Amino acid sequence: MNISNKDLNLLLFFIVLYQERNASKAALRLSLSQPAMSHKLNKLRHQFGDALFVKVPRGLAPTPRAHQLAPQVKKLVEEIELFYEQCEGRDFLAQSARIHIYTTDYMEQILLPGLLPILRQEAANLVLITHNTRGLLPREELEKGTCDLAIAGFFQQLPATFHQQRLLSEDFVVLASANHPKLQRGLDLATYLECQHILTTLTGDLNGVVDRHLQQLGVARHVVAGLSSFLAPSHVIRDSDLLLTCLRSLGEQAVKDSPQLRLYPLPFSLPRVDMMQIWHQRTDDDRLRRWLRMRIQQHAQTLVTTVS
């Protein structure tokens, strides 16, 4: 049957009349005038070929045909209302969804402790799953939909179909043992170069931002190990004479966790690192994912005073 000549709004009209059994009450509920009510009732009767509702002393009485139609019409109206609620996103925070975020253990450490309680309270059916970026933009995953969001400070040259937003920025510091024999009088560039270093490398490349900057100065440091984690190096240097150049929040957390460590200013200037969240155009208007990005950005702003 072709429904193009059917007025589906009459289904809602029918179910309200059936529930109220009173034209005036139904008109008030539907914000209709009495002439409009009469017009719609006539259309409804014509569409179903039955009187459907007849006048009785206390209002309207459904006909046998109306009683027969009522369960089906009620179900249809509820399904249509649910469909539009989902389209309009009214209940998007109640959706059951899995959100995949590609990031680093560093970002997990500073974001998730404060973010997860917010998500559990406001979107209880939302499940976060994090994946390690391995130092690369998960372009294919973002394009295919297996990644919803990527968060890190090293993504470069984004495709035109990608969006980005800065969450926070950090400067570099040097982390070392509090008993380091060469740092009792502080840390200058000469001492920095005399020491041995470890660094974090997600790709296996030991020529990081620090080393490239030192090359511009015509000097080099001695790197003895490259680790695949941002969090493990602070434990490695705790009882050693090795240095770790890291982002400030990492260094401050390491000192907080272990009094055996101490922070020193970096003895040369490096640009701050901007932590960005990246997403694909296809999820830009998705209400749930847009809300999550907003919540992440808002939470990151509460960390700014800590990591600035």
Distance CA 137, CA 102 (A): 9
Please determine, for residue 88, whether its predicted confidence score (pLDDT) is greater than 70: no
The yes-or-no verdict on residue 29 having pLDDT over 60 is yes
Q: Which of 89-93, 161-165, 226-230 has the lowest mean pLDDT?
A: 89-93
State phi, psi for 13 to the nearest 5 degrees: -60, -45
Token reading at 236:
């490695």
- 209-212's contacts with Cβ under 8 Å and 24+ in sequence apart are 209/270, 210/172, 210/245, 210/270
Kind plus residue range of the DSSP H or E element containing 199: strand 196-200
Q: The domain 172-265 is classified under which CATH number: 3.40.47.10, 3.40.190.10, 3.30.1330.90, 3.40.50.300?
A: 3.40.190.10
pLDDT at 239 over 80: yes
The β-bridge relationship of strands 59-62 and 53-56 is antiparallel
Query: Does pTM top 0.75 for this prediction?
Result: no
For residues 53 and 7, what is the distance between their CA atoms, to the nearest angstrom? 18
pLDDT for position 186: 92
- Ordered by start, the domain boundaries in the chain are 9-88, 93-168+273-307, 172-265
pLDDT at residue 304, rounded to an integer:
62
User: Which burial class, exposed, middle or buried, applies to 196 when counting CB atoms under 10 A from its CB (0-12, 13-18, 19+)?
Assistant: middle
Residue 162 · residue 278 · CB < 8 Å = yes
Label the pairing between strands 261-265 and 53-56: unpaired
Residue 240 phi/psi, 5-degree rounding, is -130, 180
User: For position 2, what pLDDT does the model report?
Assistant: 62
pLDDT digit string (tens) for 175-207? 999 999 999 889 999 999 999 999 999 989 999
Rounded alpha-carbon distances, angstroms, from residue 268 to 188, 192, 200, 211, 307: 8, 10, 19, 12, 19
User: What pLDDT does 137 receive?
Assistant: 93
Residue 160, φ and ψ in degrees, nearest 5:
-65, -25
CA distances from 301 to 25, 100, 106, 114 (A): 51, 22, 17, 12
CATH for 9-88, options being 3.40.50.2300, 3.30.420.40, 3.30.70.1560, 1.10.10.10: 1.10.10.10
Is the model's pLDDT at 308 over the cut of 60?
A: no
pLDDT tens column, 250-264: 999 999 999 899 999
Compute the mean pLDDT over every residue in the chain, rounded to the nearest whole number: 90
Query: Which band of pLDDT confidence, cut at 50, 70 and 90, is reported for residue 92?
Result: confident
Q: What is the DSSP pairing of strand 196-200 with strand 242-247?
A: parallel
Residue 79 DSSP symbol: H
- pLDDT the model gives residue 79: 85
For the 93-168+273-307 domain, the top CATH level (class) is: alpha beta
Give phi and psi for 256, each to the nearest 5: -65, -40
- CB count within 10 Å of CB 74 equals 15
Q: Average pLDDT in the 121-129 region?
A: 93
Terminal CA-to-CA distance of the chain, rounded, Å?
66
CATH topology match: 9-88 vs 172-265: no
Average pLDDT over residues 19-35: 88
Task: Work out the pLDDT band at 85, boundaries 50, 70, 90.
Answer: low
